[in-house]
Chains A and B, each alone.
Chain A
Amino acid sequence: MKLLVVGGSAAGMSAVLQYHRLKPSDRITVICDEGSFYARCRIPEVLGGDVAAGEISYPAAMPADGRLEVIRGRAESIDPVNHSVLLQDGSLLYYDKLLVTAGSSPVKLGVRGEELKGVFTLRSLGDALSTAEAARSARSAVVCGGGLVGLKGALAMKKWVSDVTVLVGSPGLLSRQLDETGSAMLERELKRIGIKVVFNTLVERFLPSGDGGTLAGVLDKNGGEMEAGVAIVGKGVRPNIDLVSKAGGAAGAGIKVSNRLQTSLPDVYAAGDCIEVTDLLTGRPTPSGLWPLAVEQGRYAAYNMAGALRPYPRPITRMNSAQFGDLPIISAGLRDGEEVYDRLTGRGKAYRRLVFTGGRLVGTILLGDVEKAGIYTGLMRSRRPVKAALRQRLLEGSVCAHDIGLMI
């Protein structure tokens, strides 16, 4: 048996490690167009100069027993009939089973000047290094987008640039994760750090400097102009479906897979950011888009490719944690539902917001105090009805695992 894996990041590497454990004598080839395996979520640290590029490698220990081969290259197309993959350099690789973990790519704004030197997206280690390079000599920086990646980029650039402005299209920060109160708390923290935030503003175009090829400023849709030596566009990501869809495989927003992570092409599996999954809470297909899900899916794909039947359970696709300055944030599930409760405690320092639908917890926002967040997400996964007394404890933050049915 020969396993071919396209992409060597969260999904690809977890699949390789698990598959190798299950089938130690099978040959595994990984094709990846990036030169190193690293923790993608840590590239803001590289951008900010906190760590060197070599310090975020992941996973450090790969099985080195001759069964595993890594090829640096780009997979161009799949021939599902002949079970082969064509690489950019013209070489052809045959597989018995193929796993596609092509990840996702940043969405462009689609405005004039986006191709200027100094305008970046933040997705790869290479992006982080070139953005850092530009930021080092810039006097002002602009981030387009108030999402997680944009804000992480803004905080990182603040290490180099004193004047950092975030332009947010919506009226709130982290609009997928937070409500009004949460956004206001985060805005206060960003202000304290010295980052400016402008809401309800979209970029009209990026303005070139005298030489014509380098970024000098940003013009917003309201006609406002601001100076910018470096800019990050953070408008979310789109699953990389091309490899599979061009070969005739089914895809929506992401590659469609069965609950065994199998695409509609024979012997072709897919996992991670490139696929869509059915969200546990909404029941709707959604791009997977999260690191833990990519790791989990890689492992499930490995089991299924190795012949063990392991149906992948529906995940919660909105679930994120981060810390900006001194403010830790965890947001999981839906923002709206039938009943919403919120509470500020600890002299306004800790905020909890809970959303219930059909008597079940479907959404959680924790700011300032994120302790025991896993109990909330565990409760969301279990789909247990939540009675009034427990709701109270959840709001106060006094809940413990025993309250959600743990007896060991």
Chain B
Amino acid sequence: MTRELLINYERCLGCRSCELACATAHSLAKSLFGAVLGGEAPLKRIFVSQSGSRKVPLNCRHCQDAPCIDACITGAMHRNSDGIVTNQGGEAPCTGCWMCVMVCPYGVIRAETGKREAVKCDRNCTDHTGVPACVKACPTGALAFTTVDSHSGKKRKEFLERALK
């Protein structure tokens, strides 16, 4: 069974450890200090927002019928053999047209307008046990990487259908 990243909103305190860990894991230096010293501006792919009284951490859901893949005009956005939706390492380059940004109902694909490249969760951050950096960094258990029961999978599909249809 494949594992998925689940979010337990009640537990999120908004400490942004996940954002930091994500950005660091995606930096060339692989450490926050090294990245900053090296003049890199590490880019996070998970975002903690405030919604009402809640803190909401959110990253790519790697949707089944992913709208970003349909929308990609170059063919860069694809699902790799691990089931991960990414615009890196595919058949075509990302040219920063922002079609994916325009259609992602979760709003978790970033437009790096300077680099002309869309930036998103690519799970290129996992440790030897396969756990993503954001999950490992979360001190409260708001982010969990587990096998998904059919219930939450169904709920998510319902949301997507409502948002997309």
Contact A323 B98 (CB under 8 A): yes
B49, A400: Cβ atoms under 8 Å? yes
- Contact among A14, A292, A296, A323 for B113, CB-based, below 8 A: A323
Q: Does A375 contact B (CB under 8 A)?
A: yes
Q: Tell me, in angstroms, the Cα distance from A292 to B162 when the chains sit together.
A: 18
- Residue B103 at the A interface, CB < 8 A? yes
CB pair B75–A59 under 8 Å, yes or no, is: yes
Residues of chain A from 328 to 359 with CB closer than 8 A to chain B in the complex: 328, 330, 332
A323-B107 contact, Cβ under 8 Å, with A60-B75, A60-B91, A374-B102: no
Q: Do residues B102 and A370 form an inter-chain contact, with CB atoms below 8 A?
A: yes
B73 & A41 in contact (Cβ 8 Å cutoff): yes
What chain A residues lie within 8 Å of B106 (beta carbons)?
A: 374-375, 401, 406
Q: Which residue of B lies closest to A321 (CB)?
A: B98
- Asked if B23 is an interface residue, CB under 8 A from chain A, the answer is no
Q: Are B110 and A371 in contact, with the CB atoms below 8 A?
A: yes
- Does B101 lie at the interface of the complex (its beta carbon under 8 Å from any beta carbon of A)? yes
Chain B contributes a number of interface residues (CB within 8 A of A) equal to 48
State whether B101 touches A370 (Cβ < 8 A): yes
With a CB–CB cut-off of 8 A, which chain A residues contact B152? 408
Q: Which residue of B lies closest to A10 (CB)?
A: B73
Q: Is the CB of A401 within 8 A of B105?
A: yes
CA–CA, A14 to B49, complex, Å? 36
For residue A284, CB closer than 8 A to chain B, the reply is no
A377 touches B51 (CB 8 A): no
Chain B residues contacting A42 (CB-CB under 8 Å) are: 73-74, 95
Bound together, the chains give a CA A163 to CA B129 distance in angstroms of: 58
A327 nearest in chain B by CB position: B113
Partner of B95, one of A45, A371, A406, A408: A45
CA distance A382 to B161 in the complex (A): 9
A299: chain B residues within 8 A (beta carbon): 70
A301 to B105, CA, bound (A): 24
Decide: A61 and B98 in contact? CB cutoff 8 A: no
Q: How far is the CB of A41 from chain B (nearest CB, A)?
A: 4
Binary per-residue interface labels of chain B (36-58) against chain A in the complex, 1 for a CB within 8 Å, 0 otherwise: 00000000000101111010101
- What is the predominant secondary structure among interface residues of chain B facing chain A? mixed
Q: Which residues of B contact A408 (CB under 8 A)?
A: 6-7, 61, 152, 155-156, 159
Which A residues are CB-close (under 8 A) to B47? 400
* A374–B101 CB distance below 8 A: yes
Query: Is B29 among interface residues, defined by CB-CB distance under 8 A?
Result: no
Task: Assess A39 versus B156: contact at CB under 8 Å? Given A373-B102, A374-B107, A402-B51.
Answer: no
**Interface residue ranges of A377-397 to B (CB < 8 Å):** 377-379, 381-382
Instruction: Give the interface centre of A299, A374, A377 by most chain B CB atoms within 10 Å.
Output: A374
CA distance A41 to B92 in the complex (A): 13
**A-side contacts of B13, CB under 8 Å:** none
8 Å CB contact of A328 from B52, B58, B67, B113:
B113
Known: A39-B74, A295-B70, A400-B58. A58 touches B51 (CB 8 A): no
The chain B residue with its CB closest to the CB of A328 is B113
**Is A372 on the interface with B (CB-CB < 8 A)?**
yes
Q: Is the CB of A405 within 8 A of B162?
A: yes
Task: Name the one of B6, B91, B111 contacting A371, with C-beta atoms under 8 angstroms.
Answer: B111
B47, chain A: closest CB distance, angstroms? 7
Complex Cα–Cα for A45 and B74 (A): 11
- The yes or no answer to B165 lying at the interface (CB within 8 A) is yes
B95 to chain A, nearest CB (A): 7
Distance A379 CA – B103 CA, assembled complex (angstroms): 11
Give the shortest distance, in Å, between A48 (CB) and chain B (any CB). Answer: 12
- Does A374 contact B105, Cβ atoms closer than 8 Å? yes
Looking at the assembled complex, report how far the CB atom of B66 sits from the nearest CB atom of chain A, in whole angstroms: 12
Residues A44-71 near B (CB distance < 8 A)? 45, 56-61
Q: Do A321 and B97 touch (CB < 8 A)?
A: yes
Contacts of A323 in B (CB 8 A): 96-98, 113, 116
Closest to A329 in B: B98
Q: Which 6 residue pairs are nearest across A and B when measured between Cβ atoms?
A: A378-B105, A400-B49, A372-B107, A374-B104, A321-B98, A60-B91
* 17 pairs, CB–CB < 8 Å, chain A vs chain B: A14-B70, A39-B74, A42-B73, A59-B91, A295-B70, A321-B102, A326-B114, A328-B111, A328-B113, A370-B98, A374-B102, A378-B105, A400-B58, A402-B49, A402-B51, A402-B58, A407-B155
Contacts from B to A (Cβ < 8 Å): 6-7, 9, 47, 49-52, 54, 56, 58, 61, 67, 70-71, 73-75, 91-92, 95-111, 113-114, 116, 152, 155-156, 159, 162-165
Known: A370-B101, A402-B9. 15 other contacts (CB 8 A): A39-B74, A56-B92, A58-B74, A58-B75, A58-B92, A370-B113, A375-B105, A400-B49, A404-B163, A405-B159, A405-B163, A406-B105, A408-B7, A408-B61, A408-B152
